[in-house]
Structure 1
Amino acid sequence: MPGGAGRPRVRMTGAQRRQQLLDVGREVFAQRGYDGTSIEELAARADVSKPVVYEHFGGKEGLYTLVVDREMQRLLDRFTAALAAGGSPRELLERAALVLLDYIEEDTDGFRVLTRDSPAGGSPDGCASLIGEVARKVEHVLGAQFSVRGQDPELAELHSQALVGMVALVGQWWLERRSPGKEQVAAHLVDLAYDGLARLRPPPGAP
């Protein structure tokens, strides 16, 4: 059956078509953002009719939500594997920073989707959700260090949010420059965070 511009249309199973639409959606949302993306363009890029997109996802927001969910899971799986490998707290934090920088370098479209605009009143903001989920992965590392240093371990949540947010923001800057190297960037970020942790003031009333 001929497709657009005289090209033969590739026949796919339902699962293959769904995967293709997710891949196309990631690319288009990364380039144009949610508001700048239309069902017409998504369908054209995938060489399908608009009803096919609606059939699989119910509309643009449904596709966007699944693209964001898939990217977050991919990144969180990387963090889980990196932190499970063990090491000193400093090594774990540096490895976590490198995981995010690796993702930015290797899956740039996915990172752009997670840090761009989301539908107003619709799906939760990708970047905010990403920061929160990743921060929970490193919170236990900081919590252990807080206890060792006589700090309130409940403050680990605040500092893990700050650390991951800092890495995500610097990652957006590094994406456009790619200099210095990501290993240097990760080391500088962890130096800043870890040395700051070492100099935290004692809690009020502490001896």
Structure 2
Amino acid sequence: MQPAAVDTPSVDAPDAPTDGRRARWTEHRRARREDLVTAAVEAVRVAGPEFAVEDVARSAGVSKTVIYRYFSDKDELVDAVLGRISDAILLPRLMGELVADRADDRAQLHAVIAAFVSLIEDEPALYRFAYAHAGRSGRADLVAATEREIAEALGVLMGERLAAAGRSPDAALTWAYGVVGMVQLAAHWWSAARTVPAAQLVDQLTDLAHGGLGTLLPPGR
């Protein structure tokens, strides 16, 4: 293990002469926090959803004291890890597939569902971590936030399709949340049951989602 790092105290020196020094310290704290969050993500991958602060300190090569200099408690650290998973791992994959240009609606749905299932396979510890902290009262909930962001984006696309065909877009969000919820719940069940191969799961969910939406939405490409 690397020697415990020594960080500058978490307040500005009382005689800080310039705003430039304060700005440099603010940037130092931001970068240091980001480094510790990276170490925490790695700790989750190794130790699992019930990681301890000691695991993060070991991953970062620092003491627990340093961790608590940048995070008030473990809950704040968990919030930061959830934010990193969302911003750097989960949403870029899913949103990228959602807005990508595909041959038709079925191909679009298949790509998004496949991206979600591949996340479960590629990052099982991070996936379990997100679900382990779902529903925390007053704290970050990655599962709910992801459902909302993907469903809202899908709802916008459906609404635009309906409006372009001269139909009311009122049902777009209902359908979007229905599809997202169906895929997420089925994939979560599958993550433990593993009753079929991943590729078959993606095909089954795509058939179900496209079978419903294909009868409700105006024809696409």
Same fold per superposition (TM over 0.5): yes
2:100 to 53, 63, 85: 85
Deviates more, 1:114-123 or 1:186-195: 114-123
Taking only aligned residues, the RMSD between alpha carbons, in angstroms, comes to 3.1
Q: Is the 8 A contact 1:22 1:63 kept in 2?
A: no
Q: Is the 8 A contact 2:53 2:74 kept in 1?
A: yes
Corresponding position of 1:24: 43
Map 1:30-69 onto structure 2 (within 5 A): 30-32=48-50, 38-40=52-54, 42-43=56-57, 48-69=62-83
2:183 to 167, 175, 181: 167
Question: How many Å separate the matches in 2 of 1:198 and 1:148?
Answer: 16
Map 1:99-110 onto structure 2 (within 5 A): 99-110=115-126
Q: Which runs of 5+ in 2 are unaligned?
A: 7-30, 217-221
Q: 1:94 to 1:173 in 2, by over 3 A?
A: same
Q: Is the 8 A contact 2:39 2:56 kept in 1?
A: no
Partner amino acid for 1:69? G
**How far 1:42 sits from its partner (Å)?**
4.5
Q: Which runs of 5+ in 1 are unaligned?
A: 201-207
1:76 paired to 2:91: yes
Q: 1:106 to 1:25 in 2, by over 3 A?
A: closer
Deviates more, 1:187-196 or 1:146-155: 146-155
Q: What stretches of structure 1 move > 6 A for 4+ residues in a row?
A: 10-13
**How far 1:171 sits from its partner (Å)?**
1.5
**How far 1:81 sits from its partner (Å)?**
2.1
Percent identical across equivalent pairs?
Answer: 26
Partner amino acid for 1:109? A
SS at structure 1 position matched to 2:133:
coil
Question: How many Å separate the matches in 1 of 2:215 and 2:163?
Answer: 14
**How far 1:124 sits from its partner (Å)?**
3.2
Q: TM-score, normalised by structure 2?
A: 0.71
Corresponding position of 1:203: none
Q: Is the 8 A contact 2:95 2:150 kept in 1?
A: no
Question: How many Å separate the matches in 1 of 2:71 and 2:56?
Answer: 12
Partner amino acid for 2:92? D
Q: TM-score, normalised by structure 1?
A: 0.75
Question: How many Å separate the matches in 2 of 1:41 and 1:197?
Answer: 45
**How far 1:27 sits from its partner (Å)?**
5.0
Q: 1:180 to 1:147 in 2, by over 3 A?
A: farther
**How far 1:139 sits from its partner (Å)?**
2.1
Q: Is the 8 A contact 1:89 1:141 kept in 2?
A: no
Aligned residues: 190
